[in-house]
Structure 1
Amino acid sequence: MVSKELHFTKAAEKLGISQPTLSHQIKMLEIELGYPLFNRVGKKIELTKVGEIVQQEALNIQGSIQNMSSQITALTKVEVGELKIAVLPGEITDLVSTLCIQFSQLYPNIKVFIETTDQVERAVLENRADFGIGFHLNPNDMLQVTKLYDEEFYLISNQSNGEDRVSFSSILDGPLILFPGIHQCRKILDKTSYEVGRHIEPTVETSSIESILNLVRSGVGRSVVSRTLYEFYDTEDLFFQHIEKPSLTSAVSLVMKKNCFINFAARKYIKLLVREIEKLHLYTEKDAINSLKSSIL
């Protein structure tokens, strides 16, 4: 708490103890370790390098205690509890949220919390999520990252020109209805357009996939959406084209803590997720999926 607040009095108040008691406890720990944990500069304090090590190990211990509690709860209550999922904002959020409807019908006594964040790995490491789902997850010695499938992005429109493929540069020539910059699809579009020396100026920006589909239907413009979203929603009246030169794809991965107990709720949700991925015939990593099934499902 002191390392979080960087203030002894505030930390003591949060802990419900007196400031002298807290200072004494810190001092005793410093004596035991043989090194100071904080640099004291007037009324301000900061962690020393040794303090940073102790802080990380303390968080690991705290995580172990929470893990132990989760295991006991999972073993004793089974279908009662909560499920916490971290997910990148954008396309994957729709997939995760839609599956929650089915999950809640199967397990009504399990509360589901979805954290939309661009720091999926941190949410898992800090035990704010049982697992996370995202694109381009960074390697970490404490995390197990399993590639689920390759997401392809389509150009969609309200009429067909008879071609099933379209070059990336040509999609920038007409009016576009796109997600805002925070969405992964938009980030990929912006990055790719920059690489080919172009700049995207959408006619409409909206976070609502239903609005995008309706605007495309009405002829306001075309859009670029993930295959997952295209398959998930009623799009039979729309036409899609594969994008090439370059193609737009991104790997979708599942991230969990290594050697961490996977509770009942997480196992059941991941099972639903894998089943949905296979049903949509996405470009899955067969070996990774099989390994996931054998290890936790």
Structure 2
Amino acid sequence: MELRQLRYFLIVAEELNFTRAADRLHMAQPPLSQQIKALETELGVNLFHRTTRKVELTRAGEFFEEKIRDWQTELQGVIREARDIQAGFRGRVRIGFVGTATHFLMPQVLAGLKKQLPGIKVDVEGELLTPQIEDLLHRKKLDIAVIRPPVTSPEIEVEFLRSDKFEVCFSASDELAGTQEPLDIAELRSREFVSYPANSAAATAFYAACSKAGFLPNVVHETDRMSTLLTLVGVGAGIAVVPTGSGSPMRHPVKYRQIRDVPPIELAISKLVGQNSALIQEVSAVIRDELTNGRFS
């Protein structure tokens, strides 16, 4: 049985006239009759009563037409979904976010994906460090991620998206939190700090800036989660030097001031080399759009 034979059958069932059906199908009438006969032979069922005057569906033909039309509608849906999957508009994607991008970017990306790619299912993991993301990409636990470079593995490709400046995060009651005047990092040498682990990109930049200013920071708490870091700062356990936009003061009782001496830090998309499916390309485009055109650009 061939799909074209089923299509021929449905057209004949609509027209109840082989000549008109053949005209609709842009074919001669004898080959059409032969195809319908071959279908009936394969099914072992007479689908039409044929006389010199008219063509009618048999009871079995009526039943077959109803079921084939239902099946055809379902098949068209399956075909559309398969095409959407090939085009990257359907499927499941696992996205990771480095901690300093989780609070400001992850909600925007998820909203963008829901709007632009409503057919995909998203599994998301936030508040990760770049080394953790590298490991998850290697183990194929993530498909794509937003990271703070650098990465150590040549098997992971990186697309740089933008640079973020650093700022100092204080508790709302801190004496230095009351003005917007930028600070020099040397002014903070006597303070206690809350920091990301030393192997993180943000901490690496922070330690390097302190060293250049001639001091080793007094890190009293170290955490790999931005939400924990902001909570510790909010209760006065220390101050933190973080990339701009890492957290929301609406969620934590903290304030921010710009800092001059810490070089900007990159934000990038990362994935395994060769991971260029249509779905990943579409998701990358949404992330890129949210960073370049969203309200945090």
TM band (smaller chain): 0.5 to 0.7
Contact 1:84 1:129 in 2 (8 A): yes
Aligned residue number for residue 232 of structure 2: 215
Query: SS in structure 2 opposite 1:203?
Result: strand
Match of 2:258 in 1: 242
Aligned pairs for 1:148-167 within 5 A: 148-157=161-170, 158=172, 159=174, 160-167=177-184
Tell me which residue corresponds to 2:244.
227
Match of 2:121 in 1: 110
| Residue segments in structure 2 that go unaligned for 5+ positions in a row | 1-81
2:146 pairs with 130, 133, 138, which one? 133
Q: Secondary structure at the match of 2:92?
A: strand
User: Residue 257 and residue 208 in structure 1: after superposition, are their counterparts in 2 closer, same or farther (change >3 A)?
Assistant: closer
Q: What's the CA shift for 1:111?
A: 4.2
Contact 1:130 1:262 in 2 (8 A): no
List per-residue Cα deviations over 1:229-261 (Å, max 9, x = no partner). Answer: 13x4526853321111x2331121224567864
Superposed, 1:3-42 pairs within 5 Å as: none
Worse overlay, 199-208 or 166-175? 199-208
Q: Which residue matches 1:177?
A: 194
Partner of 1:90: 99
**Distance across 1 between alignment mates of 2:92 and 2:237:** 42
Task: Determine the structure 2 residue equivalent to 1:271.
Answer: 286
Residue 254 (1) aligns with residue 276 (2): no
Residues 97, 243 of structure 1: CA spacing in aligned structure 2 closer, same or farther, 3 A cutoff?
Answer: same
Please tell me the residue identity of whatever aligns with 1:147. F
Q: Match of 2:159?
A: 146
**Structure 1 unpaired stretches of 5+:** 1-70, 283-297
Return the index of the structure with the highest Cα Rg: 2
| Alpha carbons of structure 1 residues 129 and 263: separation in structure 2 relative to 1, 3 Å | farther
* Structure 2 residue matching 1:210: 3-state secondary structure: helix
CA shift for structure 1 position 272: 4.5
Structure 1 equivalent of residue 35 of structure 2: none
Closer/same/farther in 2, CA of residues 92 and 238 from structure 1, 3 Å limit: closer
Q: What secondary structure sits across from 2:197 in the alignment?
A: coil
- CA offsets, 1:133-168, max 9 Å, x none? 323346999876432111112102224343521011
Residues 198 and 114 of structure 1, relative CA distance in 2, 3 Å threshold:
same
Whether contact under 8 Å (1:83, 1:266) holds in the other structure is: no
Counterpart among 72, 75, 83 of residue 86 in structure 2: 75
- Go from structure 1 to structure 2 and tell me whether the alpha carbon gap of 1:140 and 1:173 turns closer, same or farther (over 3 Å shift): closer
C-alpha contact 1:137 1:253 (8 A) present in aligned 2: no
Distance change (3 Å), C-alpha of 1:112 and 1:187: same
Structure 1 residues 170 and 263, CA, compared in 2 at 3 Å: closer, same or farther? same
Deviations 1:61-118 (A, max 9, x none): xxxxxxxxxx988228842x2213455x532355565456536856475242659552
Partner SS state of residue 202, structure 1: strand
Instruction: Judge conservation of contact 1:180–1:207 (CA < 8 Å) in 2.
Output: yes
State the aligned residue count: 208
Q: TM-score w.r.t. structure 1 length?
A: 0.53
Equivalent pairs: percent with the same residue? 11
1:192 corresponds to 2:209: yes
Contact 1:130 1:266 in 2 (8 A): no
Determine the C-alpha separation between the residues in 2 that align with 1:278 and 1:77: 22
The structural deviation recorded for 1:127 is 6.6
Q: Against the structure 1 CA distance between its residues 101 and 233, is the aligned structure 2 distance closer, same or farther, given a 3 Å change threshold?
A: farther
State the one-letter code of the partner of 2:255. Answer: F
